[in-house]
Structure formats: C-alpha cells, structure tokens
Amino acid sequence: MALATDMVEAASPRASACTALGRVLADGDDAQRCCAVRALGRIGDPAAVGRLIEALMDEDEDVRADAAEALGRIGDERAAAALIDTLLQDPSGDAKAYAIAALVRIGNADVVPVLRTLARERGETVVWDEEEFLHGGWDDWLDIQIKAIEALGVLGVAEAVPDLMVALDDEMGQDVSPAVVKALAQLGDAGIAALGDCLRSDDDRLRRRAAMALAGTGSMAAADLLADYRTDPLPDVRLAAARALAAMDPSDARLAALFDDADPGVRAALVGLCGAAFPDRLDPLFDDADGPVQQAVIGLLAAEPAVRRPENFQQRLRVKLRGPSEAVAVTVASVLPDLAPDIARADLLEQMQDANCPVSVREAAIGALPRAADASVAADLGAAMVDEDRRIRLAAIAALATLACGSNGDADLARNLLVQAVESAPSPQSDDGAANPEPTVQEQPEPTAASPTSTLDAIMAGGSTTAGTQPDEAAGDLTPEDLDFIEMAGRNPRKSKLSLEAAETVRRDARLFAASLLGDLPGDAMLPALTAALSSDDSGLRRAAAASLGRLAVRDNSLPDSATTSLANALTDQDPDVRLEAVRAVAICGDAATLSPLQRDDNAAVRAEAVRTLAAQGIDPSAHLQDADPGVRLVAAEALAAGGAPDTVDRLIALALDHDGYQRLDAARLLRAVDADAAAARFIDLLDDPNRRRTWRIAIEVLEGLYATY
C-alpha cells in the first residue's frame, strides 16, 4: 500500500507538494506551520483534509485558526464534525470565527443549533478563553455572536428569526442591529415580517436600518410593507420606501406624494428613481428651492430625451446658467448642447468669456463647447488658452484637443492652435523648467511692437491687434484661419497687461499641456513641433514631447528620421523622466542598440525599460537578476521567463531564494507558467533538507504560488 501511495505521489507533483507541506506540520516551527496550512488551503487538494483536521488540534492557536480557514477554502464535508468541535471546544476566538466561516461555506446543517445559541448567548457548553477575558478585558463571544448572526442569514435559517429578535432586544448586550437586519432580509417572508416589526420601533437607527434592508430585498412584500411608511419622520425611511416601490414599478401611484416630500434629498432621489414616469411633477421641481433637486431634474432630462420638457424650457435653462446657484449652473453648462443645441454655442461662449463668472461654470462651459460646434469654436477656445486663470487655460487646451480629434471644420484650426502653443518661443528657462525671473512690464521700457507671426502670438499681445487691422509683411505665414483669429483676439475686452513673468507662466502652461496632448491627435502636423521641443531648455516640455512622440510611435509603428534622431539624443538627457520616455519611444521605432548603455543608468525605471526592450530584441537579461532594484530584477525575470532559455527554471529558483526571498512570489508566478512541476520538485527537496530550515518558509510560499487555486 505504501508503494502504491508513493507511486501516486510520484505521478502527481501537486500531490507530492501537499505531502511535503503536510510534513512541515510535524517538523516546522510555529510560523512555518502557519504558512504550510495556509498553502494547503489555497492549493485546495482534498487529499490534504486529513492533515488539516489534525492541525485543528495544534498547540499554536494561530495554526489552528489558519487550519480552520484552510478547511473552509477546500469546503470538504468531511471536515464538518471537526470544525463544529473547534467552534465548541477551541478557546481561540479566531479559530471559532474561521470555523463558522468554513461551516457556512460547506453548508453543514449540524451547526445550526450551535449558531442559534451563539446568536443569543455565550452558551453553557462552549469553551472560551477566560484568561484573555480576565487579563485582556475582551469577551470573544461579542465577535462570535456577530459571526453567528451573519451565518444564520447566509444559511437561510428562517426558524432562527426568534433567536435574532432576542439578540436584537437584549438591552444589556452589544448593538447587533446591523447584523440582525441584514440577516433578517435574507430569511424570506419570516424575516420580512420581523423587519416590519422593526419599523414600528422608537429607535431611529433601527428603523432606518430595517427600511434600508427591506428596500434591498427587491420583493413586493417588502415594498408593500414600506409603502405604509411614506410619511415616517425619518427621511431615510421614506426614501427606502420610494426605492422599494420604484424598483417594483416606477409608475406606482403611491410614489406621487413623495415628490412633495419636505426633505430635498428625497425629492432629488425621486426624480432619478421615477421622474420619467411622472413628467407633470418635473415642472415645479425644475425650479425647486434646493439646488440638488434642480440638478436631478436637469440630469434626468439630459439622459431621457423622450421625457416632456417643462414649459419655457430654454428660457428657464438660460436663467439657471446665469443664476445664483453655481452648482446648478455647472450642471446646465455641462449638458446644454444636449438639452438646447440651438442656443448652446452662444450661451456657453458668453459664460466662458465672462471673467466674473465662477471658474467652475466657465470650466463646464469650455468642456461642453466641443459638443456645441455647429459653428466654429476653436478660435474662441484658443483665446481661453491664455486666460489669467490656470484652470481655464487647461480646460481650453483639453477642449481644443477634443475638437482636434474630430472631423469637422474646426479640427484643423484646433490642431494648429495646439501646435503653435508648443512652438511658441519661451523665455530662458532653468533646467527644472522654471522661468528665470523677469522684471515686470511696468519696470522696463515698452518694447517696440512686433507683428504677430502666429495665432497664439496675437493673443499673447494682449489684444493690441484690433478688428480690421491688416498684419504686416512679417506675418506672411499666417493662414486665413489665423487671420480670423487675430481679428477675434482684437475684440478681447480684457485690457490689463500681464508682467512678462506672468505671461511666460501662461505660455509655459499652454506649451506643456498642449505637448502632452499632441500625441493623441490624428495626423502628422504635430511631429515637427514635438521634435523641436526635445531640444527645449524646459525639462517638463521635453518630457511631455517625448511621451507624445512615444504614443505616436505606438500608433504608427514608426516616426520620421528627424524624430528618431532627436529621441536618440534624448537618451542622454539629464532628466531621468525624459530618458525614460525616450527609451519607450525608441523601443518602438528606433535602433534598440542605442539603448545598451541605459542598462547601467543610475535611474532604476530607465534601467528597467532598457532591459525590457533589449530582452525583446534577444539580449540576455540574466545579469540583471542581481540588480540592486527589485523592479529591474522583476523586469529581467519576466523577460527571461518569456524567452524560454534552457536554464530559466534554475535562474528563477535562484531569484526566489536570493535577497532573503524578497521576490519569492514573483518567482513562483513566473515558474508556474514556465514549468511548475520541475520547480516544485526542487522546493520539495529543499523542504526535505533539515539543514535548510531557514529557507523553508520561502519554499512553502513558492509551492503555494505554483499550485494555488485561488
């Protein structure tokens, strides 16, 4: 018989691993035994049930608790009797809790009488850790009572309703109402009836919890019961009644009265729950005294185009867009193109350009403008790119990027504006990208006016170009769209001038954010600007440009020679973030051989990216398994595993054991994909070697990773 067992184990490396882990339960220290029982539970081999049942009697309470949890993971009925004994006789609260969870998972009915007792009281036949109670002051029954109540609900023990109500009514006990109402909601008609009794309580918290639990059952009986509490003093109870009724039938006539509820939260919720079924109730709520109610109506109308609009809808929307509630105005601005497309462009532009309008409303207007683009809005958004408020500038650039990705007539102008923003010449920069201090305009002579050479230059001139003024010869490269935009910029009502330092901050914002977005735009018009930006003195701009070029390389799987040459030069940039983005781009479209020096870069992220790229080109990454940085080691290990070299298993086993097992779980994951059985044999041998006890825990966790079913 022993021979037959050995043969079975030899034929099944997974079973051999479980056998080896079982031996640790006899020979290992406390920590190793805990690891071993956890591993057996996660591997989930039913053959381990006997060993784990024995572990329920271990001298260490942590091992016993872990064994109960492991048996719950496996879910084998053979463990039920032993787990009930643990619940009754083991003094450890953790062991009892895991035993309950395991028995629930197994679905064993024999535990029900014990659970019913524990839901009410400590139980005369149940063993507790009295020493812990005397010295630590904590009664484990308080935790176990909650676990028992929850278990009765999961198991659907309807006959336990009286026990749960006893626990709920125990004035000397702990507050178990959250667990009880949840369990009652799982116990069918008997539980619903008991929750109905809770709704008659004078305890506000209990009524609230009972109402929410009933609403969550999704049953008509619960909805009918809650309907009688539509006038309950608690808004949460009334809201629960609304949710239950609307879930059954959103047109239920009993819901109508709740649209007049005194609580604005209930009114707002009603709009979302069933407003579409009561369009006549939306008109008064459209001008409700509470802003969130108005927002709910606006949101519903935007989401449900078929719902009848309130009277004088557009005019009332326009009032709200300019009204006293900032939050409502933001909501209106966000959906105006959907609700009133014929007025959206003009009204949104007005809000965007109004410096006295709240910034959040202006932002929302800018975000919605691309959807209101029957006529051109790119030029107007271009003007906002240099607004004094940074949030407005960034919102405008993002909106231009949205337009640039479209196909209407605004797309080309939007792309041109973003490219011009990146191309605009900066003031001298320090290496960290901060502008060198400049005296303000007021502190130096007025410079000689120069004609703008781009749309952005015209805007930055502060409106000095007036409508009807013709640009002089220096502006010969301007497109007709640029000329239209310059004319528009001349009508800018803002007359104040920024200091040169402030103007440069505005310009730098536009350059950085635009550069970060150009990599997501269609076409090739942005390539020259991004390539030139790699030579900027501003490291932030170089980073953004390299990242965008990388995304364009992914899109096209290639870049022009000028771009790849500039990216190759960026591999030696003093900013590691620039080098990192350059490595990613070169990996797609450049000469990978140029990355070889970066395997020794002093920045770990750059090294890791270089190793990953070179490994994909067939360069052996093994040397980097000893890198000082765990991230680089992981990249090398993943590349090694993907490459399938003959010594891969040996090298990954070494990675698991090196650095005090720091990357044992990473190694296990990779070994599982490469050759789990071959790796398991090596770690089983390690567990059989008493001279290598210090590495047993590593071996246990690797074996778990190799065969776990979780």
| DSSP secondary structure of 129-191 | -HHHHHHH---THHHHHHHHHHHHHHHT-GGGHHHHHHHHH-TTS---HHHHHHHHTTSHHHH
pLDDT the model gives residue 434: 42
Stretch (H or E) spanning 333: helix 326-339
Label residue 499 by pLDDT band (50, 70, 90): low
Look at residue 677 and tell me whether its pLDDT is greater than 80.
Answer: yes
Mean pLDDT score, 297-319 = 95
The rounded Cα 318 to chain-centroid distance in angstroms is: 36
pLDDT digits (tens, 9 = 90+) for 365-390: 999 999 986 678 999 999 999 898 99
Give the model confidence (pLDDT) of 220-269 as tens digits. Answer: 999 999 999 999 999 999 999 999 999 999 999 999 999 999 999 999 99
pLDDT 10s digits, 426-469? 444 444 444 444 333 334 344 444 444 455 555 455 443 333 33
613-640 pLDDT, tens digit each: 999 989 999 999 999 999 999 999 999 9
pLDDT in tens, 67-111: 999 999 999 999 999 999 999 999 999 999 999 999 999 999 999
475 CB contacts (<8 Å, ≥6 apart)? 451, 452, 453
Cβ–Cβ contacts within 10 Å for residue 488, how many? 19
pLDDT in tens, 395-422: 999 999 999 998 877 899 999 999 999 9
Residue among 129, 150, 163 nearest 61 (CA): 129
Which residue segments constitute the domains of the chain, with CATH numbers given? Answer: 376-436+453-470+477-512 (no CATH), 526-619 (1.25.10.10), 631-710 (no CATH)
Output phi, psi for 459, to 5 deg. Answer: -70, -45
Q: Identify the DSSP state of 447.
A: P
C-alpha 119, offset from chain centre: 38
The CA dihedral of 687, 689, 690, 691, to the nearest 10 degrees, is -120
Sorted by sequence, the CB contacts under 8 Å of residue 190 that are 6+ apart come out as 158, 161
- 156 pLDDT band, cuts 50/70/90, is very high
Q: Distance (Å, rounded) from C-alpha 241 to C-alpha 196?
A: 12
Angstrom distances, CA of residue 460 to CA of 108, 412, 426, 436, 498: 77, 21, 12, 19, 9
Q: What is the mean pLDDT of residues 296-306?
A: 96
Q: b/e string for 177-211 if b means 16 or more Cβ within 10 A?
A: bebbbbbbbbbeeebbebbbebbeeeeeebbbbbb
* Mean confidence (pLDDT) of the chain: 88
Mean pLDDT for 514-529 is 94
Confidence of residue 197 (pLDDT cuts 50, 70, 90): very high
Is pLDDT above 50 for 338? yes
668 pLDDT more than 70: yes
pLDDT for 592: 83
Q: For residue 363, what pLDDT band results from cuts at 50, 70 and 90?
A: very high
Question: Could you tell me which residue, 11 or 419, shows the higher pLDDT?
Answer: 419
Contact between residue 677 and residue 13 where contact means Cβ atoms under 8 Å apart = yes
